[in-house]
A and B are shown apart, each in its own frame.
Chain A
Amino acid sequence: MAWWRWSGTILLIVFAGAAVVSKDQQKKEPPFPLNLFARAKPEDYVGEKECARCHKPYFASYEASPHALPMRDPKAPLDKRGCEGCHGPGEIHLEDVEDPTKVIIFTKATERQVALACLRCHADTMRLSQWHRTEHARAGVSCTSCHQIHRNPQKERNHPSLLPGQAPWTTNKKDDVALLKDTEVNLCGQCHQRQVAQFRLPFHHPVLEGRTNCTDCHDVHPSRQARRKTNPFKGTCVTCHAQTIGPFVFEHDPVAGWSGDGCTDCHQPHGSPHPALLKSSSRGLCNQCHTDKGNSHFPGQTCWQSGCHIAVHGSNTDRFLRTP
């Protein structure tokens, strides 16, 4: 308990000191690409029609995208309108069209520069430091790795993107509102191939069938959708598997989720060779912890299918989890 209080105090002192240090840095010019907007005058914003004169295919693609509507809001400030809202003021770009420091090119910007540009408008969901602490940010994955401001007309797909083993009647639909480049499983599977391979095992979460999505369980970044999950008390799984939410009079601690690692002590969430996504089959699962019951306690039986410990997730009536 003492370490927790000490850590909290030290943390506050360190960050108060850092705040003083960073106050001096705030006086300097903001980093690229925010510096483009910081030094722009109102006349530097030339309007989207000017951009369309040189970038016609990109402009057509932008027009067809959901981004076009908010970028044409007449009440929006000049620096958040049209092409220039994302790519920077047109007049500065026209000073030297070859200079990459005078325009924001999302395919060439670093992940931090992309985040700085996107979060100028998406501050209602996330701020830079919230993005910064995500695992994706730490692994160098940028917003545009998954999201598409508008389609790149030079990179149109011409073939269906069905994964091997993916059900051809899938109801997995690309999330157009989140402007994702592809379906979630195809996007996430570009890096997380091991997990996608597990979805092809005989028992799996129906992700390839389109019944669930990666973000139903994983928080890719802070979002309103993440609020729906039941993380604070028993882990994410009980959001959908609500029958295990409890609390039960007799909890199956340590795998109940209050302590220990919870559900993943017994289940492999992506896919498994065993029914119910279990790590091990039959009584072998229980023997991972209850080693003393291995060959002596009713050998030759499955702990729950035999009708004995049927309430493995918790019971309100029996301390040995034999009745619900």
Chain B
Amino acid sequence: MQRLRTSLLAIVFSLCLLSFSGARPKSPPPETVPSPQPFSDLSFGWSSWGLSGSDKKFRNYASPPQNLYLGLSTILFPPDGGQTGNLWALGAAEHDFSYGGGATFLYGRLTGRLTVQRNRFFSPTPVLIPLSQRVTRRASVRYLISPDFALSYSYSMDLEDHFFEPPKDSLNQWTRYWDIGAEGKAGPGQLTLAYQHRHYSDRTVVRPNVTVRGWRIAYLLEGGQNLGVEASLARFAITQRGRPDNDVTSLALFGDWIIGSDTDFSVLLRRDSIDLPFIANASVRERRFLSASVRHHLYGWNLLLRATQREAERIRGDRSFVDVPRWRTWEGRLSGRLGRDFRLTLRGSAQHLSHFPVMTARDPRPLFYDGRRSFQARLEGGSPLLSGYFSWALDQYDNDARLLQMRARTLAFGVQYQLSPKASLFGEYAYENWTARSEMAEFPTLDSFLSNSRLTSVGLQWSIDRKTSLSLGISDFATANDNPLLLRNLNTSGSFVTASLTYRFPAGYRVSLIIAPWRYRDRIAGVMNYDTSLVLLTGSAQF
């Protein structure tokens, strides 16, 4: 691994030198302004984890580099005869890396991009499981056949090997996707044509492979700057080997009309016809959706009102009609300035389910929420010296037939204080509180399984002088759960301090030192605890 790193370091360094010396334009065309010089950036460093405790929790989402590593290295090829390009590598040969590049030809009329990203991580468990990994490769090309019309192609391959604590089965799968599209101005409007192909393959052979083929055609007609109507038709065929094909046909109509300088109106109508022939329990045959909204601007305040109706026509496994549950949602948002320095936003929504779905289970009461309500108030603003935001939100879910009510209340506020022209302090606090009541009267009630959480962050950004800057961030969280089954990962706390000092040398060289003492605690099962004193020393040079 060490040799591979050294080789890669040498290759990237050589490429940088090459781009510096060879790719420079020979002489700028006399008619135009001189083009910028070629630009390469090479960053490398040394890192130590200083880890004690669970490396699975520490590497739950990502694996930091260890020992010598390559950071972000970039090569920009300067514009030359209408073409340019770039190459970059981040974390080359590390557990987590990404590589990419792009090229532009014909003054931007033809562009292409390519990226490869690998991510290695662990499921947080004390059980011995292998390292999981996900690799994504993406490529895209776009060609403008006229200034307003483009052809495009994109491709992606997503490979996933994900290991979990038993009894959950591991995932060993890939998904390949490609699409081809043509879109842009055609006649008096905008035309979109697209075809897509997606194939999912499960290498554990537990789930059937799935292929989705679909096409979409849409046309937007604009009546000046004030009116637009768009119709779109899409059809998808979902295929699994040895089973009848599934189809989804989606017809949509959008419209928006700017009625005056202060008022506009928009509407969306959509109908999905769904054919899922082999589903053996209740499924949906048709979905219908209507949404209309009005926005009005008055005395510096913006008012948005929206009404939405959604319904799903359900059928049984034997294809017989069951019911059409209907959801109606009312939404409103009011935002505007309070005085010169503050902005207030109020938003709320209420959703109600009517025509209750029929349940064939032993308990026939509906399993759907029949009501959802949400409200959020947000105040932000201040002076250049002291600014901040305050936000309070309530989300409520109801199922009256089952005497169920769940509520989440969220409070969040943050402050930024400009200590001096070169230094600023900020702090943030967020608290989320969940409560529930239902027909479960004896312990453990539903409320016993819900968690509250608290997050606190403070930080400092200080440009000490033109060459030196310091950044300090401290983040702390704690979660609380009655945890009646005494499970792992539910009563946790953590504190994450990240300090970064950067010094810039003349000629674009830069050195930065990052020290990150991080700490994680599980109050129920200490096997997931960890402490780390991560140190990253990075140097970067520009050519």
Contact = CB atoms under 8 A, between A and B. Distances in A.
Interface residues of A, number: 130
A169 B514 CA distance: 10
A312 B106 CA distance: 52
Contact of B284 (A15, A258, A289): A258
A284 B183 contact: no
Contacts of B214: 232
Interface in B451-486: 451-453, 455, 457-459, 461-463, 466, 469-471, 473-475, 477, 479, 481, 483, 485
The 3 closest A-B pairs by CB, nearest first: A284-B449, A129-B228, A70-B108
Contacts of A96: none
Contact of A123 (B96, B148, B520): B148
Given A258-B283, A280-B450, A310-B167, A73 B107 contact: yes
B381 interface: no
A162 B471 contact: yes
B391 A129 contact: no
B144 to A, nearest CB: 6
12 contacts: A23-B223, A25-B224, A127-B228, A165-B473, A165-B496, A168-B516, A200-B477, A245-B212, A247-B238, A254-B368, A274-B451, A280-B451
Interface in B65-116: 65, 72, 79, 82, 84, 86, 88, 90-91, 96-98, 100, 102, 104, 106-109, 111, 113
Q: What DSSP secondary structure best describes chain A's contact surface?
A: loop
B449 A23 contact: no
Given A168-B516, A203-B489, A130 B230 contact: yes
B396 interface: no
A108 to B, nearest CB: 17
A224 B268 CA distance: 21
Contacts of B425: none
B160 to A, nearest CB: 8
Contacts of B279: 247-251
Contact of A201 (B313, B453, B481): B453
A18 interface: yes
A15 B119 contact: no
B168 A19 contact: no
A135 B88 CA distance: 33
A304 B496 CA distance: 32
B107 A253 contact: no
B449 A164 contact: no
B207 A316 contact: yes
Given A8-B253, A129-B222, A249-B278, A285 B290 contact: no
Interface in A45-84: 48-49, 52, 59, 63-64, 66, 68-70, 72-77, 80
Contact of B156 (A8, A169, A228): A228
A294 B446 contact: yes
B267 to A, nearest CB: 6
A222 to B, nearest CB: 9
Contacts, number: 425
Given A124-B185, A164-B473, 16 more contacts: A11-B253, A22-B226, A52-B33, A64-B36, A68-B79, A132-B266, A160-B471, A165-B498, A169-B47, A169-B91, A171-B91, A233-B272, A243-B200, A265-B369, A281-B490, A295-B440
Given A247-B238, A258-B283, A291-B404, A158 B469 contact: yes
Contacts of A247: 238, 240, 246, 276, 278-279, 283
A26 interface: yes
Given A127-B220, A253-B281, A324-B169, A69 B79 contact: yes
A100 interface: no
Contacts of A281: 449-451, 481, 483, 487, 490
Most buried by B among A124, A163, A240: A124
A3 B223 CA distance: 27
Interface in B187-236: 189-190, 194, 196, 198, 200, 202, 206-208, 210, 212, 214, 216, 220, 222-230, 234, 236
A286 B184 CA distance: 47
Interface in B309-362: 309, 312-314, 325, 333, 335, 357, 362
B428 A197 contact: yes
Given A68-B79, A316-B207, A228 B177 contact: yes
Interface in A212-265: 224-225, 227-228, 230, 232-233, 240, 242-243, 245-251, 253-254, 258-261, 265
Interface in B129-164: 140, 142, 144, 147-150, 152, 154, 156, 158
B35 interface: yes
A152 interface: no
A155 interface: no
B234 A232 contact: yes
A80 B428 CA distance: 44
Interface stretch (B5-13, B19-27, B406-414): B406-414
Contacts of B271: 4
